[in-house]
Structure 1
Amino acid sequence: MSRTAHICLMAQYNQWMNAKVYAAAAGLAPGELQRERGAFFGSLLGTLNHLLCGDTLWLQRFAAHPAGFPLLDPVRAIRPPASLTEPLFDDFAAMHAHRLWLDQVIVDWAASINEDELDHLLDYRNSKGPNRRHFFSLLMHFFNHQTHHRGQASTLLSQAGAELGDTDLLFCIPSQLPG
């Protein structure tokens, strides 16, 4: 599998898993989303919000790649979160709609990335200052970050009595070679 095909697979897995997490979260009793559960971001809502903040910031950094990535223009237009915990939505339905939109942006953008664009050192800033890292490795970090915190969200959902079913990337990996 090429690196670009792997990026597309990860984007599709991200979209599939977020749909499962948000569907399970939408079925929780009132107050369960906000309930403090001792997680790194406190509640399930805090964890899902952190993922939106992180995804937005990373996509805005990726938009600075010399390739320009026009499919990231709508994300460029979003005001960047001031922190990784800034509440982005007052209402879960609006948060869910944004997640659906953002995941489709990620899927579409992933499909537009060319192999030669992956071997670039991307300059960006984070809370610790300027950085320069290998673009493909940053993309892998982006998807790994999502998986890591969705794992936390899965635990929080289990604590609240919700079931997600199968969550492994294995279920998105094709069983046949392309072509």
Structure 2
Amino acid sequence: KTKAYYPSIVETLLHIFITDLTWLRRYRDALKENKALNSSPLLSLEEKGLRVEFESDYTKLFQYRKQVDGVMNRFVDDLDETQLNSILKYKNYKGEYTEKELWKTMLHWFNHQTHHRG
């Protein structure tokens, strides 16, 4: 148990993992030519199913985490300056359509992980 945003370390790691999947899906939808995003079956995972799966065996979360980290690394390696400066259009968690420079969304995305590490 923790006194942070989420009641346990596993819940915190799950939140970060699901958020990473959400951002990777947004990037996949915008950058259809990115091989790392188009070839990853992880982006098809459903949040509800993950919660159930990880409740019974949280070591799977660590296995998936390593795989997602690999996808993230390959995705970033494939980006060029034009793509980084392009506008990303996506729907936020409130269901609102949003437009931001891709590099700014990536900065937010990476900072999200450090925010929850406290």
What TM-score do the two structures reach when normalised by structure 2? 0.84
Asked whether the 8 Å contact 2:42–2:68 carries over to 1, the reply is no
Partner of residue 135, structure 1 = 102
Matches within 5 A, 1:99-118: 99-118=65-84
Choose from 60, 64, 68 the match for 2:29. 64
- More helix as a share of residues: 2
Partner of residue 146, structure 1 = 113
- In the alignment, does 2:13 pair up with 1:48? yes
Matches within 5 A, 1:1-179: 36-73=1-38, 74=40, 77-81=43-47, 87=51, 89-90=54-55, 91-128=57-94, 129-149=96-116, 151-152=117-118
Asked whether the 8 Å contact 2:21–2:43 carries over to 1, the reply is no
Q: 2:63 & 2:69 partners in 1: Cα distance?
A: 10
Q: Comparing both chains, which one has the higher relative contact order based on Cα–Cα distances under 8 Å and sequence gaps of 6 or more?
A: 1
Say which one has the larger Rg: 1
Deviations 1:80-130 (A, max 9, x none): 436xxx726231211110001110111111111111111111111122121
Q: 1:43 & 1:78 partners in 2: Cα distance?
A: 25
| Paired residue secondary structure (1:123) | strand
Q: 1:110 & 1:42 partners in 2: Cα distance?
A: 31
Structure 1: gaps spanning 5 or more residues? 1-35, 153-179
What TM-score do the two structures reach when normalised by structure 1? 0.57
Query: What displacement does 1:41 show?
Result: 1.0
